[in-house]
Structure 1
Amino acid sequence: MIELLSTSNIFVHIPIGSGGYDLSYIECIGTVCGLLCIYFASIEKTINYVFGLLNVSLFAIIFFQINLYASLLLQIFFFAANIYGWYAWTRVTRDTQEMTLKTRWMSLPKTLLWLMVCMIGISVLTLYIDAVFAALTDFTVLSLNRLGLELQIPHLYADAYPFWDSTMMILSIVAQILMTRKYVENWILWIGVNVISVVIFTMQGVYAMAIEYIILTFLAINGVRMWRISAQENGSRPCRLK
């Protein structure tokens, strides 16, 4: 099992980009789970959270092995969000035994509030992204060392794309929160995150991950389509500025 979860245990060599790309078993399984999570979420199947939990758990192990501790900490957030989402999606009312949450659009005040949160979050993180990730890395390493591990704090380089990295992180967190509350807008944010990811990964020469995010973009587009229909059936309409 330990060998299977190692990033050095290569599943297949993909002849893409400069020198190709070695895809490990754990990355392959984690990626498939991520794709299944998004697909089932797009058709409102609660089983998406099973694959979501597997995805973030495997990716946390990957980030641990390659010393990306801030990214590991983000997976812990996504793990907790998946647990909450699973609970929220399956909770029923006592009287009618119907699902409490229904797919819907956000109200205008709530949309403006989340838009402000995104703008402030992206602005602040862009300015302090290196310091924030260094602090998150230190916190994660110290926390893991208290559990008996003997880890060294890795050397971190300056972020190559501070604005776009900040945008992806903030939008990902907000999108995950909105998904747990069944707001259609979560898919619009995921489309933005995925498109940015495709461009960044292509520029960095990580073509395998760029292809993965192209697939995720189409799944998110399908999510908007499916949830829009569902929201309309629930009597919810997108907010409009008057």
Structure 2
Amino acid sequence: MVLGNMRQWLAAWPLAAAASLLYALLFWEGKLYGEAALQLFFVGMAAWGFAQWWRGRSQSALTVRRMPLQAWGWSLGAIALGWPLLGWWLSRHTDSPLPYWDALPTVASVVATVQLGRKFIENWGFWVAVNAVSVVLFALKAYWLTVLLYAAFIPLALWGWREWAHAERGVRAA
């Protein structure tokens, strides 16, 4: 899925939906409700991202580009507000053992997914941060295979960032 996103393959989105459904089950069982809900959100976003990229193929092309200043404000503001609010909600209304650790990558993943769907190159930096926090969260839950997977996502996100930087420069040069 990550490799597909990096290469801007449309097939990455259905793969994301399938993986997210499986992880939703695991996270619900482990009482990581923010992460479980996030996975269901990812299923919906996979349909949206697929449509964004598909429409970009048939109308004016959706190209890799830099986030405008306003998108930076929305992205950082959503994380700054959403993380403590979701953490508080999880701590009050669920039996989550790590509500704030669960909330941060959940909220930041929502932001990064929207950025990915809009082909903002900066999504990859957000994914590096999300994956680093997720490695800690999943280690605290002793989900060792998931720790390895998310640790592997970090260099993949860096690679994706590099690939999209080349694509963005190629579009600007054209």
User: TM-score of the superposition, structure 2-length normalised?
Assistant: 0.85
- Residue 178 of structure 1 aligns to which amino acid in structure 2? Q
Is 1:39 aligned to residue 3 of structure 2? yes
> 1:193-242: per-residue Cα shift (whole Å, max 9, x none)?
11112223334433222111111111111111111111122229xxxxxx
Question: How far does residue 98 in structure 1 lie from its aligned partner after superposition?
Answer: 5.2
Counterpart-to-counterpart distance in 1, 2:32 and 2:45:
19
The answer to whether the 8 A contact 1:126-1:163 is kept is yes
Change (3 A) 1:212 1:69: closer
Match of 1:110?
A: 71
Q: From 163, 176, 182, give the equivalent of 2:100.
A: 163
Match of 1:179 in 2: 116
Corresponding residue for residue 194 of structure 1: 131
User: What per-residue deviation string (whole Å, max 9, x for no partner) do you get for residues 21-66 of structure 1?
Assistant: xxxxxxxxxxxxxxxx1111011111101211211122234456x3
Map of 1:58-207 to 2, 5 A cutoff?
58-63=22-27, 66=29, 68=31, 70=33, 71-92=35-56, 97=58, 99-131=60-92, 134=94, 156-157=95-96, 159-160=97-98, 162-207=99-144
The correspondence for 2:18, drawn from 51, 54, 58, is 54
Aligned to 1:215: 152
Deviation at 1:112, TM superposition (A): 1.8
Distance 2:160 2:137 in 1: 23
Residues 92 and 200 from structure 1, CA distance in 2 versus in 1: closer, same or farther, beyond 3 angstroms?
Answer: closer
How large is the RMSD of aligned CA atoms in angstroms?
Answer: 2.4
- Cα–Cα, structure 1 residues 68 and 45, in superposed 2: closer, same or farther, change >3 Å? same
Q: Which has the larger radius of gyration?
A: 1
Higher helix share goes to which structure?
2
Find the aligned partners of 2:24 and 2:80 in 1 and give their Cα distance: 27
- Describe the superposition over 1:70-116 as per-residue Cα deviations: whole angstroms up to 9, x where unpaired: 344332211110001001101147xxx55531111111122122211
> Equivalent of 2:166, from 217, 229, 233?
229
Q: 1:92 and 1:173, CA in 2 relative to 1: closer, same or farther beyond 3 A?
A: closer
Give the distance between the partners of 1:72 and 1:165, measured in 2 at CA.
Answer: 10
Unaligned runs of 5+ residues in structure 2 are none
Structure 1 unmatched runs, 5+: 1-36, 135-155, 237-242
Distance 1:98 1:41, change over 3 A: same
Give the drift of 1:187.
Answer: 1.1
Q: Following the alignment from structure 1 to structure 2, what is the Cα–Cα distance between the partners of residues 72 and 120?
A: 20
Q: Normalising to structure 1: TM-score of the pair? A: 0.63
The 3 A distance-change label for structure 1 pair 163 and 58 is closer
